[in-house]
Amino acid sequence: RCVAASASSSPAATAAAMEVPATMKAWAYDAYGDASVLKLVEAAAVPAVGEDQVLVRVVAAALNPVDAKRRAGKFQATDSPLPTVPGYDVAGVVVKVGGQVEGLKEGDEVYGMISEKPLEGPKQSGSLAEYTAVEEKLLARKPKGIDFVQAAGLPVAILTASQGLEKAGMAAGKSVLVLGGAGGVGSLAIQLAKQVYGASKVAATASTKKIELLKRLGADVAIDYTKENFDELPDKYDVVFDAVGQGDKAVKVVKEGGSVVVLTGAVTPPGFRFVVTSNGSTLEELNPYLESGKVKPLVDPQGPFPFSKVVEAFSYLETGRATGKVVISPI
Ligand code: NDP
């Protein structure tokens, strides 16, 4: 079945790499709770591959706050049944393809967000495992020059940044304030606003030690929230992108007729909330910016965390102090 023997590896080696076992290692929980509910399962079932899906051998996975909120039971009403293997973000290698898959083959290096709608019936078997099954349409080819660790940190964050800016009507010549500029989503919102949309001015907030980082990411104005309240400054913006949960203050600094997109917390009009949707073609459209280096993945320097340290990685993510993405690799 292996048709993907590449020039760089012998057919025997590739065939061996494509062999899929019946069971795999996976992190899973069978009750909602804090990070201590996570258990390493030595022989979980490798997920079946649907007609429109591929099986990905996971090389790296990234954590998102949604994984922690889901694990805590916040989305129980619309969650898939327990036990759950968490993880939305994946980067890895295709090892098996479903019958209707046309654009991917064994051996392809891919990345993506594995569930189309993260809160409505997300996959029971996620990316914190040796294998995960994903619809072809949710995946993109891994950008050249971007390694698996960097790629794993991108999907949820860059799709959220891109869709949020789009829904807020971001366009060339507009100004934007990114609340939470040093986090997974904010670090990409700053870069996309500047590099993809051609923002006239990008401002962003973070604590003192991360102010230089905001400037390196492309912020024209870096606001240290430990020293200044952004809503007490004179500047107003066409778009406010709130990745912190400060919707009440965010609406005070938007220009009349402008937009306030809020990712979490209370929403005050004219602010609006949206939930990211997975989409491989958006990732493909962004690939050139990643390949040219105009947009750079930001991986938290505390990581990548090895697969054995998933509980520690979650605890770190849940401090709310991560710089860019918390990535798990190798898996
Ligand atoms: P992260 O865990 O990556 O964010 C951590 C960052 O937040 C840190 O760098 C921290 O910087 C910064 N931060 C915390 N408090 C403040 C503050 N008061 N002002 C400025 N910065 C602050 O999270 P993500 O970026 O992945 O996600 C952000 C939020 O968006 C989460 O609540 C997440 O659930 C939500 N989200 C929602 C989505 C949707 O579809 N609606 C999709 C993706 C995320 P410092 O240490 O300097 O405080």
State the distance from the centre of ligand 1 to the C-alpha of 243, rounded, in angstroms: 5
The token pair that represents 143 in the structure block: 């950008």
Rounded to 5 degrees, what angle do the CA atoms 115, 118, 120 make? 100
Backbone φ and ψ for 176, nearest 5 degrees, come out as -145, 145
Q: ω into residue 304 within 30 of 0, thus cis?
A: yes
3-state helix, strand, coil in the chain (%, to 5): 30, 25, 45
Ligand 1: centre distance to CA 68 (Å): 13
Instruction: List, chain by chain if needed, residues with CB within 6 Å of any ligand 1 atom.
Output: 64-66, 156-157, 160, 179-180, 182-186, 205-207, 210, 225, 243-244, 263-264, 275-276, 317, 320-323
- Split at pLDDT 50, 70, 90, the class of 5 is very low
103-154 pLDDT, tens digit each = 999 999 999 999 999 999 999 999 999 999 999 999 999 999 999 999 999 9
Instruction: Give the predicted TM-score (pTM) of the model.
Output: 0.96
Taking the C-alpha atoms of residue 139 and residue 114, their distance in angstroms, rounded to an integer, is: 8
**CA-based nearest residue to 135, from 173, 178, 102, 183:** 102
Determine the residue of 71, 117, 160, 253 to mutate for testing ligand 1's pocket, defined as the one with the most ligand atoms within 8 A of the Cβ atom. 160
Q: Is the per-residue pLDDT at 217 higher than 70?
A: yes
Q: Is the pLDDT of residue 83 over 80?
A: yes
Instruction: Please give the distance, rounded to the nearest whole angstrom, from the Cα atom of residue 181 to the centre of ligand 1.
Output: 8
- pLDDT higher than threshold 70 for residue 279: yes
pLDDT of residue 312: 98
The 8-class DSSP code of residue 326 comes to -
pLDDT averaged over the chain? 95
Q: What percent of the chain has pLDDT over 70?
A: 95
The dihedrals phi and psi of 213, each to the nearest 5 degrees, come to -60, -45
pLDDT-derived band at 19, boundaries 50, 70, 90: confident
List Cα–Cα distances, 158 to 75, 137, 181, 187, 283, in angstroms: 22, 17, 13, 9, 8
CA 127 to centroid of ligand 1, rounded, Å: 21
Give the C-alpha separation, 128 to 276, whole Å.
20
ipTM associated with this complex: 0.99
Region class of 87: left (phi > 0), else alpha (psi between -120 and 50), else beta:
left
Question: For residue 102, how far is its CA from the centre of ligand 1 (angstroms)?
Answer: 37
pLDDT-derived band at 4 (thresholds 50, 70, 90) equals: very low
Cβ proximity of 40 and 87 under 8 Å: no
Residue 272 has pLDDT above 50, yes or no: yes
CA of 300 to the centre of ligand 1 (A): 13
Q: What percent of the chain has pLDDT over 90?
A: 94
Residue closest by Cα to atom 32 of ligand 1: 264
Atom of ligand 1 nearest to the CA of 325: 3
Quote the pLDDT of residue 2.
Answer: 40
